[in-house]
Structure 1
Amino acid sequence: MLKGIDNRLNAEVLGALRAMGHGDYLVLVDTNFPADSLSRHTTVGHLLRMENLTSAEAAEAILSVLPLDTFVDDFAGRMQVVGDPSAVPDVQREVQAKVNAAEGADRPIPGVERFAFYDLAKGAYAVIQTGERRFYGCFMFRKGVIPPEA
């Protein structure tokens, strides 16, 4: 363990988060997502795991060290519910609350159609699979910047 680092972040995930640059994005997915096959298309090239966590727990840990991009509207994304794109399941509300807490403001996460989300995952820096078993626990987070100290 490291001082000041959320203990839910494992070495592989921390390494990927550190290596990402401004505008790179990661995809955080549930257990039903085709994570292994799609992760082979990413910059990291293999699947990263946070298996014992829900989507909200993993998002909270990730957002404790990852700044979200403030320059773009697609700072984050959530997989839309098939047949009801305006629906926001509980799992997505929980992650939205973690984003709002990390940002210190309400920044609604835009929806992304299911197959468009799969394509988005292929272009990600990394895919991180959680132990989330609820449907639609799939998210994208785009890395922002940390400003210089005053």
Structure 2
Amino acid sequence: MLKNIPSILSPELLKILMEMGHGDEIVIADGNFPAASLAQRLVRLDGHGAVGVLEAVLKLMPLDIYVEKPAALMQVVAGDTVETPIWDEYASIIKTSGEKFDGFEHIDRFDFYDRAKEAYAVVATGEKALYANIILKKGVVA
């Protein structure tokens, strides 16, 4: 047991966060995301929502300050009328974390899948909100 580590972070996810280097990306995926078929490294946190996972990850992992937008979302597919209030929660979490944040990059669904294939890891959550997938680019600890 360790102190001050959010309990939502599994030993496997902690190891992955430690292994990641500057510029590596991690996907926090909702329950509908095809995580198993896309991930190079898959971490299952099915019993948890993406909001809690994002909060916990940002307690340990810095975002890349050398890119314009170190956080990316899957944009809503044209014609889909779904609301995305979780995006506001994500923005609030990132701002509260103290990380540089100037809005999200929005990526087409299939381009998002392609980028997820290249990510260092994908965290599969049980998040039920639609379009709740987020990619984070790791920065450096100054």
TM-score range (shorter-chain normalised) is: over 0.9
Once the two structures are overlaid, the 10-residue window that deviates more, 90-99 or 10-19, is 90-99
Q: 1:80 aligns with which of 55, 75, 78?
A: 75
Percent identity between the aligned chains?
Answer: 38
What secondary structure is seen at the aligned counterpart in 2 of 1:92? helix
Cα shift readout 1:43-66 (whole Å, capped 9, x = no counterpart): x3xx20222221111100110100
The AA in structure 2 aligned to 1:25 is: E
**Pair 1:114-2:109 in alignment:** yes
**How large is the RMSD of aligned CA atoms in angstroms?**
1.8
Aligned counterpart, 1:134: 129
CA contact (8 A) 1:55 1:95 kept: no
Change in CA separation of 1:14 and 1:104 when aligned onto 2, cut-off 3 Å: closer
Cα shift readout 1:10-63 (whole Å, capped 9, x = no counterpart): 001000000000000101100101000001xx2x3xx20222221111100110
User: Residues 21-36 of structure 1 correspond to what in structure 2 (within 5 A)?
Assistant: 21-36=21-36
Task: Give aligned pairs, total.
Answer: 141
Determine the C-alpha separation between the residues in 2 that align with 1:140 and 1:84: 23
Structure 1, unmatched stretches of 5+, are none
Runs of 4+ in 1 over 3 A off after TM superposition: none
Determine the C-alpha separation between the residues in 2 that align with 1:104 and 1:24: 16
Aligned counterpart, 2:88: 93
Structure 2, unmatched stretches of 5+, are none
